Amino acid sequence: MSSDATTGTEGAAAGATGPGDLSEASRKLLEQSFNDGNFELIDQLVAPDAVSHDPAAPPGIRDLRGPEGIKRMATMYRAAFPDLRMSVDDVIAAEDKVVLRWHSEGTHRGELAGLAPTGARGSVTGISIDRWKDGKLVEAWVEWDNFGLARQLGAAPPEGGVAEKIGIGVHRLTAAWMRRKNQG
C-alpha cells in the first residue's frame, strides 16, 4: 500500500481524487462546517448515503446518513458553543483516506444534548478518519475526548475528586454484582 503524508494543499474541489486534494477537502469540511456553518460545502462534499461512526453522537443524530448528519452535528455544537473554533493540527493522507488530528475550543453558552449552559470554556482534541470516493466523503470515523469535555462542563466528576471516588466505588459494587450474575 502506497501512502502519501501531507499537511494539505490549496484548491480542493468536489471532484478531488489525489491525497493532497482530499486532505484539503477534509480540512475544509471540518473547519468550515463547524466554525462558519458552511452547509453548502457539506452538500457539495458529502455523499447522500455517507456514514459517520461517532460514538459520541446523540441517538437522534447517530443513525442519520449523508449531509444531514454532519449538518445536525455542526448545528448542535455551534448552538452550544457559539464561539466554537475547530482547527486541524495534522493531516495524513493515503489513497482514499484522510486522517485529521484536530482540536476544538469554545464557551458553553447553549444547551448541549440536555446539558444546561455553564459558561465554562471547554477544549478537546480528536482524530477523524475520512474515506472518499469519487470526490465525495462516503464514510467517517471520529474519536474525541468527550469525557474530558463532560468534566470541563461539570457533567462528570473532576479527576481525583470525592465524586469520582464514589463513582468508582459504585462501579466496583456493580461489577461484582455483574460477575456473579454472569457466572450462573
- Look at residue 38 and tell me whether its pLDDT is greater than 80: yes
Question: Which residue type occupies 45?
Answer: L
Average pLDDT on 141-147 reads 95
pLDDT band at 150 (very low <50, low <70, confident <90, very high): very high
> Residue 8 has what pLDDT?
39
What torsion do the CA atoms of 36, 7, 87, 153 make, to the nearest 10 degrees?
A: 140
Q: Which pLDDT value is given to residue 17?
A: 55
Provide mean pLDDT across the span 109-113.
94
> Is pTM beyond 0.85 here?
no
The strand ranges marked E within the chain are 4-5, 46-53, 85-94, 97-107, 121-133, 136-144
The mean predicted confidence, pLDDT, of the chain is 88
